[in-house]
Amino acid sequence: MRGVGELISLVNEELGMALRPADADSPLGALPGWDSLLLLRLIAVLEAATGRPLPVADVISASSLAEIHALVAAE
Amino acid sequence: MSGLREVRELHAAGQLAAAYPRVRTLLDRLDADRLAGAGVILSRLAPGEVLRHHPGTQVVRVTVSAGRAVPGAVVAPLAAEFARHGMLPDVRAGEFNGWVGELTDPSSPLAAHRPDLALCVLDPFTVFEGLPQTWSAADAERVLGERLDLIARLAASHRQQRPGSTLVLNTVPLLRHHAQQLLDLASRAELGIAWREFTSGLLRLSRPGEGVVVLDLDPVTAAGARADDPRMGVHAGSPLATSLLAGYAREVAHLARALRGDTKKCLVLDLDGTLWDGTLDADGPDGVQVGAAHRQLQAAVRQLGSQGVLVALCTKNDEERVRRALRAHPGMLLREGDFTTIAAGWGPKHEALVRIAEELGLSTGSLVFVDDTAAERDLVRSALPGTAVPALDAEPALHTDRLLADGWFDTLKLTDDDRARPERYRRRARRARLREELLDHRAFLRSLDVVVRIAPATAPDLPRIAQLTARTNRLNATGARWTTAEVTDRARTGAVLGIRAADRFGDEGLAGALFIRPEPVRWTLENLALSCRVLGREIEDACLAALVAAARDAGARQLRAHWRDTGANAAVRELYLRHGFAPERPDGRNGRNGPDGLWVFARPTAAPQQPPEHVEIDITMQATMQATVEEGSCAASGN
């Protein structure tokens, strides 16, 4: 996954959201249509896409999509 | 384009609600992960938005309560599984650990949702709450016993307080990491026993048709669904695995379908490649092989047939050759007589299915079509959207799993009447042959010796009458689907009359019901449900004529009759009109004069129609008095 933009496209497609690149740093709770269960689905989607397990505790406590992207990229 | 991609594009374009009837097909062949993805998208749909585009969509109101499981985690799998069956769930998820309050408090927001299905998701963590910090098998046994008592009280209170709603419980998988915490094998065995006793106790709470159903999740986990997700449990507080929730939601959708009475009636099987290996036409009767996989499928088919599923054959072959092979092939478990009908020929299969449905008096929506050839399945899927087509693949050993995967023939309660269905259809075929022989239709009817008895339903009749309201479509006056408890209630507050019919080919048993509110001046027929099996013998006309006469003889001046357009029951409206009923029109406009599209028809009870002369009918309002039968009989003949 190259940039946070790619993560946002994935979120839009997989979770049926309509986010813009500018939403990368917004708190997750402030994203229109977001709920915490979507994060669980996102973890499954990201693990399938990257073929690697993610550090679930860190992803759960991440505050924005940019932070999640950093965790995915760091693995 | 894959079905999931199309669902996503429809959602992104804001067209998913408008396209909802098509979603069912899009989900048809998705694997588990793609289906989960589609569920996430579908759970974003507002039911009201779908209804605005498609007011006829079958909505199922659902609430989700849970202990340590996250109620919201069930919403997306439910959205996917209900959509697979063309239904639309309207879900309210409860609070974390809110199950006891939500299920007992009549003023909870979940109660206000008036659920058809009140789901109570039971999980292994909630079951084990209450264990001391270190525990023995005896502690576990005690805690399990307490849990079972609590759940039994919830079930009893639900049955009492919320008629018309079904509480859905589930058995709970024993997790390996719970069992393995007991080190000695004797203790582990004790835990296993206590757990199974808890499971048995749960299953004993099941009262299908009376407001409580317990879904057995053992077969779901045995088929490969992992039960828990330790990572999501520990870090995100969502301890049940998505695979278990998906399997659970699938069973809930099957239950919702069975509650609606949407049970398939006929299994249509291909022959070459499906019931044996090889093709009869090319390989000859000695060249086709019935292998172990084919025998397994045939044994399952026979098992379904023993419970009233009609079995038909649809094959591209010469009919006489097929019949000979069915009689003579040494490896076959299914024989010629096991098939209610055999459609052999060279035309397209969807046309053969239409003929099979017509011959059996069913809609093509009552058929399940099993064929190993993908092209035939695709043809039937596109030509007959209501017909269920399990997705077989090239491996015959998996055919039985695939046939049974979607519970097409599941029913709340199997009656003797169900088991007798194949024999009834054989009678029906004999009747059809007689009709062909006797060209004069009236002469045919007279030769049948039709006898109809109408009398108040007795207690043993009530489950069958509930089933009739659930399963009848063409002759169901309002489309109302009632549980046994609701029928019982109606029998208490009004009158529920059972209709029994027989002719010289055999006894049809309890084939219909009249729901009546008898008042001194006016009787109201609040619903009428008559099985399609009696069609073509003017039995519905005889019943209505007899009812008008019975109301008159009881002193009522008017008979009113309810009707609601379900899209399938125009025949009832025509029946009313044929007997001199007219819509009441207080608004002076279109006769659509009640709430929820309810039409009220009425006629004076004076001068009832004569019942058809070939039907011998009697009607009684009192179950026990023989004298009344004769009186009713007299009334029925219009004297």
Tell me the domains of chain A and their CATH numbers.
Answer: 4-74 (1.10.1200.10)
Dihedral sign for Cα B188, B189, B192, B193, please: negative
CB contact under 8 A, A37 and B238: yes
Which residues from chain B sit within 8 angstroms of residue A12, using beta carbons?
12
Nearest-CA residue of chain A relative to B240? Answer: A40
**Block residue for tokens 């990368």:** A24
Q: In the predicted model, what is the mean pLDDT of residues B364-386?
A: 94
Query: Quick check: B243 and B226 in contact, CB under 8 A?
Result: yes
| B585 band by pLDDT with thresholds 50, 70 and 90 | low
Give which of B427, B421, B429, B502 is closest to B464, Cα–Cα. Answer: B421
**B478/B472 Cα distance (integer angstroms):** 10
Q: In the predicted model, what is the mean pLDDT of residues B155-159?
A: 94
| B509 band by pLDDT with thresholds 50, 70 and 90 | confident
Which pLDDT belongs to residue B626?
Answer: 36
Among residues of chain B, what percentage have pLDDT more than 70?
95
Which pLDDT belongs to residue B633?
Answer: 35
| Residue B552, pLDDT above cutoff 60 | yes
Which pLDDT belongs to residue B438?
Answer: 75
Dihedral of the alpha carbons of B339, B343, B348, B350, in degrees to the nearest 10 = -50
The distance of A52 to chain B (nearest Cα, Å) reads 14
Which pLDDT belongs to residue B174?
Answer: 97
Query: Quick check: B454 and B528 in contact, CB under 8 A?
Result: no
**B296/B301 Cα distance (integer angstroms):** 9
Give which of B335, B313, B325 is closest to B280, Cα–Cα. Answer: B325
Q: What is the mean pLDDT of chain A?
A: 92
**B605/B634 Cα distance (integer angstroms):** 15
CB contact under 8 A, A37 and B242: no
**Block residue for tokens 């989900």:** B27
**β-bridge pairing B582-583 and B598-604:** antiparallel
Query: Quick check: B270 and B306 in contact, CB under 8 A?
Result: no
The distance of A1 to chain B (nearest Cα, Å) reads 20
- In one letter, which amino acid is B521? V
Per-domain residue ranges for chain B? 1-56, 57-259, 266-404, 427-636
Nearest-CA residue of chain B relative to A18? Answer: B12
The three-class DSSP label of residue B272 is strand
| Residue B592, pLDDT above cutoff 70 | no
Q: Which of B40, B41, B42, B78 to mutate to test the interface with A (most CBs of A within 10 A)?
A: B40
Q: In the predicted model, what is the mean pLDDT of residues B563-577?
A: 90
Nearest-CA residue of chain A relative to B34? Answer: A14
Q: Does B80 touch chain A (CB under 8 A)?
A: no
**Range with top average pLDDT, A44-53, B189-198, B277-286, B464-473:** B189-198
Which pLDDT belongs to residue B1?
Answer: 61
Residue-wise pLDDT for B387-397, tens only, equals 999 999 889 99
The string of DSSP letters for B285-309 reads TTT-B--HHHHHHHHHHHHHHTTT-
CB nearest A60 (choices: B72, B76, B236): B236
Residue-wise pLDDT for B280-302, tens only, equals 999 999 999 999 999 999 999 99
Which residues from chain B sit within 8 angstroms of residue A16, using beta carbons?
8, 11-12, 40-41, 44
CB nearest B232 (choices: A33, A48, A56): A56
**B344/B280 Cα distance (integer angstroms):** 12
pTM of the model: 0.78
Number of Cβ within a 10 Å radius of residue B395: 11
CB contact under 8 A, B44 and A48: no
**B227/B241 Cα distance (integer angstroms):** 5
List the single range of B36-50, B352-366, B423-437 with lowest mean pLDDT.
Answer: B423-437
- How many CB contacts within 8 angstroms connect chain A with chain B? 44
The distance of A3 to chain B (nearest Cα, Å) reads 22
Q: Does B74 touch chain A (CB under 8 A)?
A: no
- In one letter, which amino acid is A21? P
Q: In the predicted model, what is the mean pLDDT of residues B303-332?
A: 94
Among residues of chain B, what percentage have pLDDT more than 90?
74
Cα B229 to chain center, whole Å? 33
| Residue B270, pLDDT above cutoff 90 | yes
Nearest-CA residue of chain B relative to A58? Answer: B235
Q: Which fold has domain B57-259?
A: Rossmann fold (3.40.50)
Whether ipTM > 0.90 holds is yes
CB nearest B41 (choices: A16, A37, A43): A16
**β-bridge pairing B310-315 and B341-344:** parallel
The distance of A33 to chain B (nearest Cα, Å) reads 9
Strands (E), B460-597: 495-503, 506-518, 522-530, 558-564, 582-583
* One fold for B266-404 and B427-636: no
CB contact under 8 A, A16 and B238: no
Report H helices in B472-521: 484-493
The distance of B185 to chain A (nearest Cα, Å) reads 34
Query: Quick check: B39 and B71 in contact, CB under 8 A?
Result: no
The distance of B171 to chain A (nearest Cα, Å) reads 24
Which pLDDT belongs to residue B639?
Answer: 31
Nearest-CA residue of chain A relative to B239? Answer: A40
Q: In the predicted model, what is the mean pLDDT of residues B440-450?
A: 85
| Residue B588, pLDDT above cutoff 70 | no
Q: Does B34 touch chain A (CB under 8 A)?
A: no
Superfamily of domain B427-636: Gcn5-related N-acetyltransferase (GNAT) (3.40.630.30)
CA distances to A57, B232, B234 from A67, rounded to whole Å, are 13, 19, 21
CB contact under 8 A, B36 and A39: no
Q: In the predicted model, what is the mean pLDDT of residues B118-131?
A: 94
| B632 band by pLDDT with thresholds 50, 70 and 90 | very low
| Residue B636, pLDDT above cutoff 50 | no
CB contact under 8 A, B37 and A45: yes
Q: In the predicted model, what is the mean pLDDT of residues B564-583?
A: 91
| B638 band by pLDDT with thresholds 50, 70 and 90 | very low
Report H helices in B448-565: 462-471, 484-493, 539-553
Residue-wise pLDDT for B77-111, tens only, equals 999 999 999 999 999 999 999 999 999 988 889 99
Q: Which fold has domain B266-404?
A: Rossmann fold (3.40.50)
Which pLDDT belongs to residue B637?
Answer: 34
CA distances to B432, B463, B506, B510, B638 from B453, rounded to whole Å, are 23, 19, 14, 9, 16
Q: In the predicted model, what is the mean pLDDT of residues B258-287?
A: 93
Report H helices in B277-410: 280-283, 292-305, 319-328, 349-360, 374-383, 399-404
Q: In the predicted model, what is the mean pLDDT of residues B472-488?
A: 90
- In one letter, which amino acid is B605? T
Which pLDDT belongs to residue B487?
Answer: 93
CB contact under 8 A, A18 and B72: no
Q: What is the mean pLDDT of chain B?
A: 90
Residue-wise pLDDT for B163-198, tens only, equals 889 999 999 999 999 999 999 999 999 999 999 999
